[in-house]
Amino acid sequence: MAEYAAPGQPGSVVSYLDRYDHFIGGEYVAPAKGDYFENPTPVTGRAFTEIARGTADDVERALDAAHGAARAWGRTSPAERANVLNRIADRMEQNLEALAVAECWENGKAVRETLNADIPLAIDHFRYFAGVIRAQEGGISQIDQDLVAYHFQEPLGVVGQIIPWNFPILMATWKLAPALAAGNCVVLKPAEQTPASIHVLLSFIADLLPPGVLNVVNGFGVEAGKPLASSSRIAKIAFTGETTTGRLIMQYASENIIPVTLELGGKSPNVFFSDVASSRDSFYDKALEGFTMFALNQGEVCTCPSRALIQSSIYDSFLADATERTKLIKQGNPLDTDTMMGAQASNDQLEKILSYFDIGRQEGAKVVTGGERADLGGDLSGGYYVQPTIFEGDNKMRIFQEEIFGPVVSVTRFDDYDDAVKTANDTLYGLGAAVWSRDGGTAYRAGRDIQAGRVWVNNYHAYPAHAAFGGYKDSGIGRENHKMMLDHYQQTKNLLVSYSQNAQGFF
Amino acid sequence: MERIALTPAAADLIRRLREENGPLMFHQSGGCCDGSAPMCYLAGEFRTGASDVHLGDLVVDGEPVPMWMSGKQFEYWRHTHLTVDVVPGRGSGFSLEAPLGVRFLIRSRLLTDEESLALNK
């Protein structure tokens, strides 16, 4: 076990500055209105830095910088851009611990996750898009003997990106890496709950990018996010968040006739067929871990397996074993490498989770374990901690239908295959899902029948860059990860060329 | 009989936001991050349409603040009564109150049989 010193404390691997301005045109720029807001750590609830409170003027300035850089950046060779992305990845790797501790302190998540998942995945993501942009090919189509269609990919230009707070650096990377690889310039607005760790990242990589290619404007949604999303000077807007803001962003985009990609969450079913329990072997152990994945990142994952569907014939014994596994989750100081579950990201997030404990109980759901706020004592008493919680109930209950975004799983049973698929699909959302079975046929059919963009089969919460991620139904539009993501950041240019010397014959 | 209500603290916040911004509306969100939070906008900022349900009006000093939810989401929420409250915090999304360091929050209870008969007929 090791416990990292808090940022800025003696022996810490990273320090935050007392204040962060906007990063515009390759330099730090004070906010036009001169205002800042405090950024608390969820670990203790106390503020540790202050952040520029951006407004429309700052967004305009960032757009000026981005447009100033767009032509030159868009004309760099794929090899040049790939090199930049690879260098970013190298710098991140050299500073992995610092980034991991910074992210932990800002978001409240356990440092073992940032060390082993968030930051390594972000590093790999930059390398992946460095690879695919070099391998991307246009097309040549011979329409007839003398007419040829050439298809080129061209960057969109300047794009806007609004980042969520649950994986501040990884989610920024998911949007940045493909956008930069494709030759776009970016104006990025981090979430107001986690506005600072991206600046730690910038402290390591800013010199690698030409000024204006990446601009970061901090601030609140209504003051900085809205001017960005509604700007007539962006060619695309990408957003991760919830449905109402997603719709609002689509409305703004419709005014400017620009594309959107939206990732709006889910209520992901984790389906356990009875054959999972045919033997108490390592696979059974893996399935129990799969159930417990609802607690990863304190449940603050759009694909949190927040509904567990267990076949009736194994329901009681499997749930009992899964509950024991859940009780082994070690909560504690997020900076301790033994800690498995840290703090919720903000006070309002904590309050929302508690409000769902309330309505869950009122609706008659049974609390199997947890169901309360957790007080971890000492300095951590001011932080936002919740017990890992298992509810038993019915799929029609609100706790089965709304994304609680906490370490809460709602469990119900199913009788047969059709019942499983029906319940799994009885939701507004379709982002993630999982199927657990030793029978390849059952797993395949269920994986195809569940209406979700990502169905894990016999695993959960793996996010390799080369696997497409995105939602069916109300979970959004478009995909992230995978080389297909480049399409969301590129225009198609068709050059239709006649090599004939003769008139077409109309006039 | 109403499906929605608000706490005195939420009413105070609505007064303040209305004074600073003008007439308001709410749209109840779903999904991740700040999902399940009621979003407060300038009236008309968010375009409601045929897919939305008007849950009712929150009346503050005689002035109504209409509250909406998508119809699909309403099907899963219609058995509950919703009270708009406010807590310290920092929501994302474009809701007007976030810069003040507070966040609107929904508190729910089951509709009584009598309410359910009247409101869900």
pLDDT tens digits, residue range B33-76?
Answer: 888 899 999 999 999 999 999 999 999 999 999 999 999 999 99
Residues A151/A139, Cβ–Cβ less than 8 Å: yes
Beta bridge partners of A155: A490
Q: A with B: how many residue pairs have Cβ under 8 Å apart? A: 160
In a domain, A462, yes or no: no
Q: Are residues A130 and A203 located together in one domain of the fold? A: yes
**For residues A27 and A361, what is the distance between their CA atoms, to the nearest angstrom?**
52
Report, as an integer, the average pLDDT of A430-443. 98
Which residues 300-319 on chain A approach chain B with CB closer than 8 angstroms? 302
CA torsion through residues A263, B91, A213, A69, sign = positive
Report, as an integer, the average pLDDT of A373-377. 96
In a domain, A298, yes or no: yes
Q: Which of A264, A299, A325 is the last residue of a domain?
A: A264
For residue A416, give the amino acid letter. Answer: D
Q: Are residues A209 and A324 located together in one domain of the fold? A: no
Q: Are residues A445 and A330 located together in one domain of the fold? A: yes
Q: Which residues of B touch A224 (CB under 8 A)?
A: none
Q: Are residues A256 and A300 located together in one domain of the fold? A: no
DSSP letter assigned to residue A77: -
What CATH number did the domain enclosing A435 receive? Answer: 3.40.309.10
3-state secondary structure of A10: coil
A359 closest CB neighbour out of B31, B33, B108:
B108
3-state secondary structure of A358: helix
Domain count, chain A: 2
Q: Are residues A170 and A130 located together in one domain of the fold? A: yes
Kindly state whether A106 is in contact with chain B, defined as any CB-CB distance less than 8 angstroms.
Answer: no
Spatial CA neighbour of A111 closest among A19, A16, A12, A195: A12
Give residue-wise pLDDT tens across range A153-207: 999 999 999 999 999 999 999 999 999 999 999 999 999 999 999 999 999 999 9
For residue A67, give the amino acid letter. Answer: H
Range of the domain at A447: 269-457
Domain B4-119 has CATH 1.10.260: no
The answer to whether A263 is a known catalytic residue is yes
Spatial CA neighbour of A409 closest among A475, A323, A333, A473: A323
**For residues A119 and A105, what is the distance between their CA atoms, to the nearest angstrom?**
14
Q: Are residues A101 and A217 located together in one domain of the fold? A: yes
Look up the ipTM and state it. Answer: 0.97
Give the pLDDT of residue A305. Answer: 98
**For residues A71 and B39, what is the distance between their CA atoms, to the nearest angstrom?**
38
Cβ count within 10 A of residue A432 = 28
Catalytic residue among A103, A106, A113, A263: A263
B51: nearest CA partner in chain A = A247
Give residue-wise pLDDT tens across range B17-43: 999 999 999 999 998 888 889 999 999
Which residues 175-234 on chain A approach chain B with CB closer than 8 angstroms? 191-193, 220-223, 225-226
pLDDT band at A1 (very low <50, low <70, confident <90, very high): low
Q: Which residues of B touch A193 (CB under 8 A)?
A: 90, 92
**For residues A277 and A272, what is the distance between their CA atoms, to the nearest angstrom?**
9
Q: Are residues A125 and A145 located together in one domain of the fold? A: yes
Give residue-wise pLDDT tens across range A97-134: 999 999 999 999 999 999 999 999 999 999 999 999 99
Q: Are residues A122 and A40 located together in one domain of the fold? A: yes
**For residues A184 and A490, what is the distance between their CA atoms, to the nearest angstrom?**
8
DSSP letter assigned to residue A114: I
What CATH number did the domain enclosing A159 receive? Answer: 3.40.605.10
- Domain-by-domain residue ranges, chain B? 4-119
Which residues 23-82 on chain B approach chain A with CB closer than 8 angstroms? 27-37, 39, 41, 45-47, 70, 72-73, 76-77, 80
Question: What are the C-alpha distances in Å from B50 to residues A250, A412, A476, A499?
Answer: 16, 33, 19, 53
Q: Which of A457, A478, A493 is the last residue of a domain?
A: A457
- Cβ pair A266:B31 closer than 8 A: yes
Q: Which of A413, A434, A457 is the last residue of a domain?
A: A457
Give residue-wise pLDDT tens across range A496-506: 999 999 999 99
Report, as an integer, the average pLDDT of A223-247. 97
Give residue-wise pLDDT tens across range A16-32: 999 999 999 999 999 99
- B8 Cβ contact list (under 8 Å, min separation 6): none
In a domain, A80, yes or no: yes
Give residue-wise pLDDT tens across range A255-299: 999 999 999 999 999 999 999 999 999 999 999 999 999 999 999
A83 conformational bin, left if phi > 0, alpha if psi -120 to 50, beta if neither: alpha
User: Helices A168-181 and A96-107: crossing angle, nearest 10°?
Assistant: 120
- A139 Cβ contact list (under 8 Å, min separation 6): A149, A150, A151
Tokens 């689509």, located at residue: A250
Give the pLDDT of residue A467. Answer: 98
- Cβ pair A221:B90 closer than 8 A: no
Give the pLDDT of residue B33. Answer: 81
In a domain, A1, yes or no: no
Q: Are residues A35 and A127 located together in one domain of the fold? A: yes
